[in-house]
């Protein structure tokens, strides 16, 4: 072992231990015992390796890994610490390194030590390169120097291969390169004479193999050490993108896009109500949809359902998610007057429609918006109401009409039935792709939609909406 530099090298010893699945044990002495074994790198002084032979290496030993930031060799303690923290995020890795350095400062240094023990914090690129090399995904590293005693042999082999390639290119070798024989090739030839034929590789083919470049798999090429979940980015982006989308509703009535409006109108996500010309007390009624993925009525299909009277599954490929988290549906009120109108009269052909606001989140709700809530679509799941002003379903449906939409023929959930008469249940026909494409089978949807609007308007009238 003393004559083999590869066995004494800390980096190769750690790489072999990782490949064998037997990590070295930090100890407080060169020998391994129950008293000397520890998990604290601040107390440990050595790493005890089991493979290929039991031996220990001091943690302060410099390695062949040279950091570009400090232009100095990184010690074994920093290398082993980086491997232990390979799966943590960068901020956590930096914080752990600072904590370990504080512990090392407090530890009593042995007599004769001039330098203070310290864990070197590797930058992201260096740490990633080191972990990739230790895992065996890459055999080369720009930060690891060649092992002494091996580089000379490698250089001689490379020179011999270069000379052989030159002979082939010039034709001096007759089109076949003279491949340098590897150590033990003579022994293999001798073994072939004793009965077992040795495997013979065509010299030209061997030369091609020598010139191949190892590509690796996608993990080694991309140098990824763990998968990253970016699903939270979509939620964050929606908050900002919703404010910047230019929609028709951002312009005052009578103003076309591209013309300069008389007054600045906030974007839909900045507030749920937009001012109307000639009316300063307009209160558009609000309908809240369920954000549950199991809901049959969602933002993607609610306009087709409540405005056009046709039910389409919310995840149908013909539908597209709205670019904003707010929708508008205008509809004349049949059973009561519009609060924006100064008089209350019967429904007629010239009746001004009322604009309803549909949202599936209360993120932009102000306290005064709750007085404009007229209906809540629910699936029977109480978590939907956690962000509401009234979190109790019985109390909520005293202030707004509850709407449950399920499949026709299926029983209404027990939770919905338990909430009493404040929730109206409706059933739509199951979706038939063939019948829907032929324009048949959805004639009952209009009847269901009219029933829903009737329930909403009756609830508005019961709560005095027409007299507000």
The mean-pLDDT minimum among 34-38, 65-69, 148-152 falls in 148-152
Strand pairing class (354-359; 286-288) = parallel
Q: Give residue 163's pLDDT band: very low, low, confident or very high (50, 70, 90).
A: low
Does residue 156 register a pLDDT over 80? no
Whether residue 388 is contained in a domain is answered as: yes
Domain boundary among 135, 164, 190: 135
Average model confidence (pLDDT) across the chain: 75
- The answer as to whether 155 is a domain residue is no
Same domain, 289 and 262: no
Q: CA dist 299 to 295, 313, 326, 358, 439, Å?
A: 10, 11, 8, 8, 23
The Cα–Cα gap between 377 and 295 comes to 9
Q: Is the pLDDT of residue 236 over 90?
A: no
Residues 326 and 363 in one domain: yes
Residues 6+ apart with CB under 8 A from 33: 27
Whether 341 and 437 map to the same domain: the answer is: yes
> Is residue 454 pLDDT above 60, yes or no?
yes
SS3 content of the chain, % helix, strand, coil (to 5): 35, 10, 50
Instruction: Sheet with 401-407: list strands edge to edge.
Output: 327-331, 354-359, 286-288, 373-377, 401-407, 423-428
Residue 204 belongs to what H/E stretch? helix 203-210
Whether residues 261 and 360 share a domain: the answer is: no
Of 135, 168, 184, which residue sits at a domain end? Answer: 135
**pLDDT of 397-450, one tens digit each?**
988 999 999 988 888 888 888 888 889 899 888 887 766 655 556 778 888 899
- Same domain? For 260 and 290 the reply is no
Least confident of 11-15, 164-168, 440-444: 164-168
Q: Which two tokens stand for residue 308?
A: 């056009």
Q: Looking at the structure, do residues 259 and 401 belong to the same domain, yes or no?
A: no
On whether residue 38 sits in a domain, the answer given is yes
Checking if the pLDDT of 174 tops 60, the result is no
Q: Of 43-52, 146-155, 256-265, 454-463, which range is least confident?
A: 256-265
417 shares a domain with 344: yes
The residue segments making up the domain with residue 73 are 5-135
Spatial CA neighbour of 458 closest among 421, 427, 429: 421
Q: Does residue 152 lie within any of the structural domains? A: no
Return the C-alpha torsion angle 201, 203, 204, 206, nearest 10. 60
Do 338 and 266 reside in the same domain of the chain? Answer: no
Decide which of 119, 135, 151 is a domain's last residue: 135
Does the pLDDT at position 126 exceed 50? Answer: yes
**Confidence grade of residue 167 (pLDDT, cut at 50, 70, 90):** low
- If asked whether residues 261 and 335 sit together in one domain, one would say no
Given a cut of 50, is residue 188 above it in pLDDT?
no
Most confident of 126-140, 189-203, 326-340: 126-140
* Whether 341 and 458 share a structural domain: yes
What is the per-residue pLDDT across 63-113, written as a single tens digit (0 to 9) for each? 999 988 888 899 999 999 999 998 888 889 999 999 888 888 887 555 455
* Residues sharing a CB contact under 8 Å with residue 156, sequence separation 6 or more, in sequence order: none
Question: Which of 41-50, 141-150, 454-463 is predicted least confidently?
Answer: 141-150
Q: What is the Cα–Cα distance from 259 to 241, expressed in whole angstroms?
A: 23
How far is residue 79's CA from residue 59's CA, in Å, rounded to a whole number? 9
Q: Are residues 265 and 392 in the same domain?
A: no
Residue 20 lies in a domain: yes
* Rounded Cα–Cα distance for residues 148 and 152 (Å): 8
Please check the confidence at residue 196 and state whether its pLDDT lies above 60. no
How far apart are alpha carbons 303 and 309 in whole angstroms?
Answer: 9
Q: Residue 331, SS3?
A: strand
Higher pLDDT: 25 or 181? It is 25
- Going by C-alpha positions, the residue among 48, 59, 8 that lies closest to residue 24 is 48
Q: Is residue 433 in a domain?
A: yes
Residue 348 lies in a domain: yes
Produce one character per residue of 432-448: b if its CB has 16 or more CB atoms within 10 Å, e if not.
eeeebeeeeebeebeeb
Total domains in the chain come to 3
Q: What is the pLDDT of residue 230?
A: 72
Bridge partners (DSSP) of residue 330 are 355
Mean pLDDT, rounded, for 242-262: 49
Q: Are residues 93 and 239 in the same domain?
A: no
- pLDDT, tens digit, 9 for 90 and up, residues 336-380: 655 544 444 444 445 678 889 898 888 888 888 888 899 999 988
User: Phi and psi (nearest 5°) for 359?
Assistant: -140, 160
Give the pLDDT score at 150: 56
Asked if residue 157 is part of any domain, the answer here is no
**Regarding predicted confidence, which is higher, 226 or 151?**
226
% of the chain surpassing 90 pLDDT: 8
Q: What residues contact 74, with CB distance under 8 A and at least 6 apart?
A: 62, 63, 65, 66, 67, 120, 122
């Amino acid at each position: 072992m003393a004559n083999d530099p590869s066995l004494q090298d800390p980096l190769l010893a750690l790489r072999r231990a990782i490949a064998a699945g037997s990590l070295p044990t930090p100890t407080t002495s060169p020998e391994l015992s129950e008293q000397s074994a520890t998990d604290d790198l601040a107390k440990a002084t050595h790493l005890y390796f089991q493979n290929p032979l039991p031996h220990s290496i001091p943690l302060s030993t410099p390695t062949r890994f040279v950091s570009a930031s400090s232009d100095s060799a990184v010690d074994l303690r920093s290398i082993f610490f980086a491997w232990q923290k390979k799966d943590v995020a960068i901020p956590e890795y930096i914080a752990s390194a600072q904590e370990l350095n504080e512990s090392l400062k407090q530890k009593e240094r042995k007599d004769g030590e001039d330098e203070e023990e310290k864990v070197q914090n590797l930058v992201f690129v260096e740490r990633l390169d080191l972990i990739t090399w230790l895992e065996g995904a890459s055999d080369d590293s720009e930060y690891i120097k060649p092992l002494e005693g091996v580089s000379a042999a490698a250089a001689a082999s490379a020179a011999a291969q270069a000379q052989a390639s030159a002979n082939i290119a010039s034709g001096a070798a007759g089109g076949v390169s003279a491949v340098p024989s590897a150590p033990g090739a003579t022994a293999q030839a001798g073994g072939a004479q004793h009965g077992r034929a040795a495997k013979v590789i065509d010299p030209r083919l061997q030369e091609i193999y020598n010139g191949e470049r190892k590509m690796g798999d996608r993990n080694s090429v991309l140098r990824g050490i763990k998968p990253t979940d970016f699903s939270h980015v979509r939620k964050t982006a929606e908050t900002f993108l919703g404010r910047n989308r230019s929609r028709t509703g951002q312009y005052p009535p009578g103003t076309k896009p591209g013309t300069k409006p008389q007054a600045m109108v906030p974007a839909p996500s900045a507030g749920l109500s937009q001012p109307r010309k000639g009316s300063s007390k307009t209160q558009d009624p609000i309908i809240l949809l369920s954000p549950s993925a199991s809901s049959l009525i969602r933002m993607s299909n609610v306009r087709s359902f409540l405005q056009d009277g046709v039910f389409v599954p919310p995840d149908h490929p013909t539908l597209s998610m709205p670019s904003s988290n707010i929708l508008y549906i205008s509809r004349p009120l049949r059973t009561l007057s519009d609060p924006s109108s100064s008089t209350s009269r019967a429904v007629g052909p010239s009746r001004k429609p009322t604009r309803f606001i549909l949202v599936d989140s209360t993120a932009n709700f102000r306290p005064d918006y709750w007085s404009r809530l007229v209906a809540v679509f629910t699936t029977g799941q109480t978590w939907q109401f956690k962000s509401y002003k009234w979190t109790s379903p019985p109390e909520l449906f005293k202030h707004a009409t509850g709407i449950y939409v399920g499949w026709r023929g299926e029983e209404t959930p027990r939770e919905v039935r338990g909430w009493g008469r404040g929730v109206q249940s409706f059933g739509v026909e199951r979706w038939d792709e063939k019948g829907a494409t032929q324009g048949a089978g959805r004639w009952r949807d209009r009847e269901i939609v009219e029933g829903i609007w009737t329930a909403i308007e009756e609830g508005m009238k019961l709560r005095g909406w027409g007299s507000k």
